[in-house]
């Protein structure tokens, strides 16, 4: 007599390419996050190596925003010409290679130039991979964006942990970044082959080199702006804050970002289930309250024991906001691709200008005042969360094509 099989049915053949694409884009998010985490964990070392003041570091950290703003509108044309898979493979490779540039800089001018290139490759690859993630979500018919961003945070967490170890072992940022760039480049190229290869129809016109985001994207982008500002400040300034404000040692200062990324990772990986239970608006409002409470702890901290939990709470509070902003853009309005690119531009630019603004405010007053601004923006999430109602709920997914058909669609970015 044959044994009874498990009641769980195997995936139909038509669904297998989409499942493989989900795995591929998940690892792409992790690789992208690992590049960010590697860079963020060694900012204090680069500042010390070049003898930069808070104002000079803030000036350098505004350059990625300039590079990203100039380059991000080109991502759509690259995807239109090459197809989304080849475009992602190229842009992710450039992003990994650009990691070494800040560590090779001999002075502030070269650091600014290297960070501009770093930001340009970061922005273009970020837009392309988020659009690819939304396309997979549409074909699966269920929300996955929070989990994908959780993989980004996981990559950043692992990379930041290695960064803390490198700082403790006094490994130079130059050698550390060269090793990390090589490993992440290989990993990224291997997994990009699994990503859906979305191509425009033959008669489709190439997207413009630059176009203003639609109004719906600007409203949704305001929510993402508040969250990503806090994220960018936490990534780039948490280590400096612990070292300069609380007197933490170099290894402990590097752990600030690790705590921040760890809580964000767990929250994002669990985020899809939380959003299904609370809904996007209530989830963002609750998160804003938690992030603001964490900001208060950071501002009030006199030692690492209080500041590190504060950064952890900020990570928890803002975790699901950006994935929900991309989902809202993708499911609202007649042109989801344009809205996604618009929200990505607004939110990503926020993350890149945040470190510069934090540095400028710190130069004029103090880092405590800078993180008072971060706390205020986190509290703004409670007031602006209503803009995410346009997502139509976490279960609403717009299908671009039936599962199992050719993955051909207009350029996703």
Interatomic CA distance for residues 236 and 314, integer angstroms: 14
Q: Which of 124, 132, 104 is nearest to 28 (CA)?
A: 132
Say what the alpha-carbon torsion angle 188, 193, 195, 200 is, to the nearest 10 degrees. 120
Backbone angles phi, psi at 70, to 5 degrees: -75, -30
- Angle at alpha carbon of residue 37, lines to 55 and 108, rounded to 5°: 30
* pLDDT above 80 for 174: yes
* DSSP state letter for 275: H
* pLDDT above 70 for 126: yes
* DSSP state letter for 411: -
Tokens standing for residue 395? 């279960």
Query: Which pLDDT score is estimated for 11?
Result: 53
The rounded percent of the chain whose pLDDT value lies above 90 is 25
Q: Which of 169, 84, 175 is nearest to 134 (CA)?
A: 84
Phi-psi region of 51 (alpha: psi -120 to 50; beta: other; left: phi over 0): left
Rounded alpha-carbon distances, angstroms, from residue 250 to 127, 194, 247, 413: 33, 39, 9, 40
**Segment among 21-25, 42-46, 161-165, 337-341 with least mean pLDDT:** 337-341
Distance of CA 65 to the CA centre of its chain: 14
Query: Which pLDDT score is estimated for 339?
Result: 67
Q: Of 5-19, 152-166, 190-204, 339-353, which has the strongest mean pLDDT? A: 152-166
At residue 410 the predicted structure's pLDDT band, cuts being 50, 70 and 90, is: very low
Phi-psi region of 404 (alpha: psi -120 to 50; beta: other; left: phi over 0): left
Distance of CA 26 to the CA centre of its chain: 13
Largest distance between two CA atoms of the chain: 80
Q: Residues 284-312: what's their mean pLDDT?
A: 92
Q: Residues 28-37: what's their mean pLDDT?
A: 92
Interatomic CA distance for residues 299 and 367, integer angstroms: 8
At residue 352 the predicted structure's pLDDT band, cuts being 50, 70 and 90, is: low
289, 305 Cβ separation under 8 angstroms: no
DSSP, collapsed to helix, strand or coil, labels residue 324 as: helix
391, 280 Cβ separation under 8 angstroms: yes
Query: Which pLDDT score is estimated for 132?
Result: 84
Q: Which of 375, 385, 382 is nearest to 293 (CA)?
A: 375
Interatomic CA distance for residues 405 and 409, integer angstroms: 11
Query: Which pLDDT score is estimated for 161?
Result: 83
221, 343 Cβ separation under 8 angstroms: yes
The per-residue pLDDT for range 354-382, each reduced to its tens digit, is 877 888 898 888 899 999 999 999 999 99
Q: Residues 241-269: what's their mean pLDDT?
A: 82
Q: Where are the alpha helices (DSSP H) in 270-320?
A: 271-278, 280-300, 304-318
227, 322 Cβ separation under 8 angstroms: yes
Query: Which pLDDT score is estimated for 335?
Result: 52
**Segment among 125-129, 144-148, 186-190, 233-237 with least mean pLDDT:** 233-237
Interatomic CA distance for residues 238 and 234, integer angstroms: 5
Query: Which pLDDT score is estimated for 47?
Result: 87
Q: Residues 211-223: what's their mean pLDDT?
A: 74
Query: Which pLDDT score is estimated for 37?
Result: 87
Q: Residues 190-199: what's their mean pLDDT?
A: 82
**Segment among 89-93, 149-153, 248-252, 395-399 with least mean pLDDT:** 395-399
Interatomic CA distance for residues 89 and 86, integer angstroms: 5
Tokens standing for residue 80? 């239109």
Q: Residues 229-256: what's their mean pLDDT?
A: 83
The per-residue pLDDT for range 310-337, each reduced to its tens digit, is 998 998 999 999 888 887 876 665 555 5
Rounded alpha-carbon distances, angstroms, from residue 13 to 82, 123, 145, 319, 405: 27, 35, 24, 34, 11
306, 184 Cβ separation under 8 angstroms: no
DSSP, collapsed to helix, strand or coil, labels residue 204 as: coil
| Mean pLDDT taken over the chain | 80
What is the CB-side half-sphere exposure of residue 336 using CA atoms within 13 A?
25
17, 198 Cβ separation under 8 angstroms: no
Burial 260-289 (b: 16+ CB within 10 A, else e): bbbbbbbbbbebbebbeebbbbebbbbbbe
């Amino acid at each position: 007599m044959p044994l009874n099989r498990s009641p769980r049915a195997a995936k139909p053949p038509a669904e297998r390419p989409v499942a493989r694409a989900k795995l591929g884009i998940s690892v792409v998010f992790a690789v992208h996050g690992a590049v960010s985490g590697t860079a963020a964990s060694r900012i204090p070392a680069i500042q010390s190596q070049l003898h930069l003041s808070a104002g000079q570091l803030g000036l350098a950290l505004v350059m990625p925003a300039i590079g990203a703003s100039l380059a991000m509108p080109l991502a759509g044309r690259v995807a239109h010409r090459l197809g989304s898979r080849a475009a992602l493979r190229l842009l992710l490779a450039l992003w990994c290679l650009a990691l070494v540039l800040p560590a090779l800089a001999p002075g502030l001018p070269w650091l600014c130039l290297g960070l501009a290139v770093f930001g340009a490759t970061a922005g273009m690859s970020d837009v392309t991979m988020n659009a690819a993630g939304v396309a997979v979500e549409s074909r699966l018919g269920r929300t996955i964006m929070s989990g994908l961003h959780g993989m980004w945070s996981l990559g950043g967490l692992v990379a930041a942990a290695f960064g803390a170890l490198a700082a403790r072992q006094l490994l130079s940022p130059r050698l550390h970044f060269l090793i990390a760039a090589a490993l992440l480049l290989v990993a990224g190229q291997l997994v990009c082959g699994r990503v859906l290869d979305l191509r425009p129809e033959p008669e489709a016109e190439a997207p413009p080199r630059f176009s203003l985001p639609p109004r719906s994207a600007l409203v949704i982008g305001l929510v993402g702006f508040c969250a990503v500002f806090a994220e960018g400040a936490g990534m780039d300034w948490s280590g400096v804050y612990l070292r300069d404000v609380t007197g933490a040692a170099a290894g402990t200062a590097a752990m600030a970002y690790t705590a921040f990324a760890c809580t964000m990772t767990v929250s994002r990986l669990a985020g899809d289930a939380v959003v299904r239970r609370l809904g996007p608006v209530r989830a963002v409002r609750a998160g804003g309250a938690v992030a603001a409470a964490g900001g208060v702890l950071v501002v009030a901290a006199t030692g690492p024991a209080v500041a590190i939990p504060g950064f952890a709470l900020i990570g928890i509070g803002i975790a699901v906001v950006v994935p929900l902003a991309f989902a809202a853009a993708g499911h609202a309005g007649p042109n989801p691709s344009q809205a996604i690119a618009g929200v990505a531009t607004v939110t990503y630019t926020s993350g890149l200008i945040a470190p510069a603004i934090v540095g400028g405010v710190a130069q004029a007053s103090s880092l405590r005042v800078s993180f008072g601004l971060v706390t205020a923006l986190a509290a703004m999430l409670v007031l602006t969360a209503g803009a995410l109602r346009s997502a139509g709920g976490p279960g609403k997914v717009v299908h671009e094509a039936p599962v199992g058909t050719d993955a051909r669609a207009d350029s996703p970015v």
